[in-house]
Chain A
Amino acid sequence: MQDFQDVWLVIPVFNEETVIADVLAHVLRTFPNVVCVDDGSRDNSAARILGSGAHLLRHPINLGQGAALQTGLSYALAQPRAEYFVTFDADGQHQVEDVENMIGELRTKEADVVLGSRFLESAHEVPPLKKLVLRTIATVSGSSRRLGLTDTHNGLRAFNRAVAEKVDITQAGMAHASELVDFLSRSSFRVREVPVTIKYTEYSMSKGQSLLNGVNIMFDLALRRRG
């Protein structure tokens, strides 16, 4: 069994009190270092996290998922012996086994960044309309094409320390995913995509990105490009 002492999971949390404790209990079994960033939740998420064994950071106000990720990353970077960093969704749609694989990839030193893609293998699990939206975003995005990515909005990503130190997420909202891809395409980091499984539970579907959110993402990005 691999030792994951040098791995830090960053989980942005916003109003996830019903699932977060279970997700954390599950994840902490394999990964000892988990930092949850409570992004100004109005429910009891923070209390659930406190009792779980994960590190808890709290934004005093809601800033958005991108900001929460960056906060968690900054914190994890400051921890001793932290070498690998993983972004993980709070709603339980990601699989611990996938993270293990991704860390394995990074440990071979042949990639600096490993991104999860739901379209490489088990694409049949993805609901059709969602597939269309995500594939469209992946196709129209120039940087994603340059990197040959199939899925730009997957919350599961792993990178090594060199990348984590360079990453600076400024898009506070949901456009951070595209911002990251853009950043990677401009950098010389070696990016690899691996198939991951997304469990579409009713819960995650109710919280996931909607079609309209896709419009928001496009708009944010168009504005940012001019920046």
Chain B
Amino acid sequence: MLIQALLILAAVLLFVLFLRRSHTARLQAFKRIGFLLFCAFGVLAVLKPDVMTWLANRVGVGRGTDLLLYMLTVIFGFFALNTYLRFKDTEKRLTRLARAMAIRDAIAPDDDLRAAVAEEAAASAGGRGVADEPAEGRGVALAQGGRGEGQGV
């Protein structure tokens, strides 16, 4: 039956669109043409409901309403895919924006703090200084804390 061929074709088209995942001008044009056709067809179907039944019979579907359901399914598929691609695209842009902001507003440690940390490092390397004690204690506690106690994955 013709309808089977058409529906399979639609599914293949959806898959191809999914593979491409890019928004080219050509694709955009095709989508707009499709939308215009859809609108025109909508008007026609409202004015002349018999058209649906006639068309359904032509492609091998019993009733016009069934054909409508098939078409709706396909159109919904395209809609979902289109939205998904858009979302991906937006997410990518958002990530770039956030990254640019994060790098622009980076806070480097001030020199005093760096010096203090370096001093502490030197102290701990050469014989575990007293100033080093509190941080060292916490570090050890962390390394040992609860080891082997968790069991979930």
Are A70 and B21 interface neighbours, CB within 8 A? Answer: no
Interfacial chain B residues near A67, Cβ < 8 Å = 95, 98-99
The residue on B at minimum CB distance from A19 is B142
Interface membership of B69, Cβ < 8 A: no
Interface membership of B91, Cβ < 8 A: yes
Interfacial chain A residues near B145, Cβ < 8 Å = 201-203
Are B106 and A29 interface neighbours, CB within 8 A? Answer: no
Stretch at the interface among A50-58, A141-149, A181-189: A50-58
Q: How far is B18's CA from A23's CA once the two chains are assembled, in angstroms?
A: 43
Are B121 and A60 interface neighbours, CB within 8 A? Answer: no
Which residues of A175-193 are within 8 A (CB) of B?
none
Q: Contacts A28-B121, A37-B102 given: A205-B113 contact, CB under 8 Å?
A: no
Interface membership of A32, Cβ < 8 A: yes
Q: How far is B86's CA from A83's CA once the two chains are assembled, in angstroms?
A: 37
Q: How far is B135's CA from A126's CA once the two chains are assembled, in angstroms?
A: 28
Interface membership of B109, Cβ < 8 A: yes
Which residues of B112-145 are within 8 A (CB) of A?
113-114, 116-118, 120-121, 124-125, 135, 138-139, 141-143, 145
Interfacial chain B residues near A133, Cβ < 8 Å = 153
Contact-residue size bin, chain A (C-beta under 8 Å from the other chain)? 35 or more
Determine chain B's interface SS by DSSP, over half rule. Answer: helix
Are A200 and B148 interface neighbours, CB within 8 A? Answer: yes
Q: How far is B96's CA from A70's CA once the two chains are assembled, in angstroms?
A: 10
Interfacial chain B residues near A98, Cβ < 8 Å = none
Which residues of A188-211 are within 8 A (CB) of B?
199-206, 208-211
Are A60 and B102 interface neighbours, CB within 8 A? Answer: yes
Interfacial chain A residues near B94, Cβ < 8 Å = 61, 63
Q: Contacts A56-B106, A75-B103, A127-B151 given: A25-B146 contact, CB under 8 Å?
A: no
Interfacial chain A residues near B18, Cβ < 8 Å = 226
Which residues of A12-59 are within 8 A (CB) of B?
19, 22-23, 25-26, 28-30, 32, 37, 50-59
Given A55-B107, A201-B150, A211-B153, 5 more A-B residue pairs with CB atoms under 8 Å apart are: A22-B135, A53-B116, A58-B102, A60-B102, A201-B146
List 17 A-B residue pairs with CB atoms under 8 Å apart, sorted by A's residue number.
A1-B125, A22-B135, A22-B139, A25-B138, A26-B135, A29-B121, A29-B124, A30-B121, A51-B113, A55-B109, A61-B94, A67-B98, A71-B98, A200-B148, A205-B151, A210-B152, A211-B153
In order of increasing CB-CB distance, the 9 nearest A-B pairs are A205-B150, A202-B146, A53-B117, A129-B153, A130-B153, A57-B102, A29-B121, A26-B139, A56-B107
| Chain B interface residues toward A at CB < 8 A | 18-19, 21, 91-92, 94-95, 98-99, 101-103, 105-109, 113-114, 116-118, 120-121, 124-125, 135, 138-139, 141-143, 145-153
